[in-house]
Structure 1
Amino acid sequence: MSTPQKKPLYIGHRQRLKARFLTAPQALPDYELLELFLGLLYPRKDMKPLAKTLLEKHGSLWGVFFRSELSSHWGILCFHEIARRLLIREIQQAPVLNNIDKVMNYAYITMSHLSQEEFRVFFLNKKYELIHEETIQTGTLDEVALYPRPLMRRCLELNSANLILIHNHPSGDPRPSRADIALTHALETALFPFQIHILDHIIMGKYAAFSFREEGYLGQKPIRSQKAAEPDGDTPQ
Structure 2
Amino acid sequence: MTEQTALSAEPVEPAKKASPRHAGHRDRLRERAAAGGLLALPDYELLELLLFRSIPYKDTKPLAKDLLARFGGLEGLGAASHEALEDTVAAGLSYARGKATRAIALDLQLIFDVARRVAKQPTEKRQVISSWTALVAYVRVALQHEPREQFRVLYLDRKNQLILDEIQNRGTIDHAPVYPREIVRRALELSASSVILVHNHPSGDPTPSRADVEMTRQVVEAGRPLSVTVHDHLVVGRDGVASFKQLGLM
Counterpart of 1:7, as a letter, is A
Equivalent residue for 1:148, pick from 180, 186, 200: 180
* Distance in structure 1 (CA, Å) of the matches to 2:30 and 2:130: 38
* Distance in structure 1 (CA, Å) of the matches to 2:18 and 2:139: 44
Give ranges in structure 1 of 5+ residues lacking alignment. 219-237
Contact 1:161 1:197 in 2 (8 A): yes
After superposition, the C-alpha distances for 1:173-196 in whole angstroms (9 at most, x for unaligned) are 111111111100001000111111
2:55 matched residue in structure 1? 42
Equivalent residue for 1:22, pick from 7, 15, 34: 34
* 1:158–1:54 distance in 2 versus 1, CA, 3 Å: same
- Percent identical among aligned pairs is 39
TM-score by length of 1: 0.81
* Distance in structure 2 (CA, Å) of the matches to 1:71 and 1:121: 32
Compute the displacement of 1:71 (Å).
Answer: 8.5
Counterpart of 1:18, as a letter, is R
1:117 matched residue in structure 2? 149
After superposition, the C-alpha distances for 1:66-108 in whole angstroms (9 at most, x for unaligned) are 3594389322332332122212211133211111121111111
2:109 matched residue in structure 1? 77
2:73 matched residue in structure 1? 60
* 1:59–1:93 distance in 2 versus 1, CA, 3 Å: same
* 1:11–1:154 distance in 2 versus 1, CA, 3 Å: farther
2:97 matched residue in structure 1? none
Counterpart of 1:43, as a letter, is P
- The answer to which of 8-17 and 46-55 deviates more is 8-17
* Distance in structure 2 (CA, Å) of the matches to 1:93 and 1:105: 14
* Distance in structure 2 (CA, Å) of the matches to 1:127 and 1:66: 32
Contact 1:123 1:164 in 2 (8 A): yes
Q: How many residues align?
A: 215
Compute the displacement of 1:42 (Å).
Answer: 2.9
1:225 matched residue in structure 2? none
Compute the displacement of 1:59 (Å).
Answer: 4.8
Contact 1:71 1:77 in 2 (8 A): no
1:101 matched residue in structure 2? 133
Contact 1:123 1:160 in 2 (8 A): yes
Compute the displacement of 1:153 (Å).
Answer: 2.4
RMSD: 2.3
Compute the displacement of 1:33 (Å).
Answer: 0.9
* Distance in structure 1 (CA, Å) of the matches to 2:86 and 2:241: 22
TM-score by length of 2: 0.77
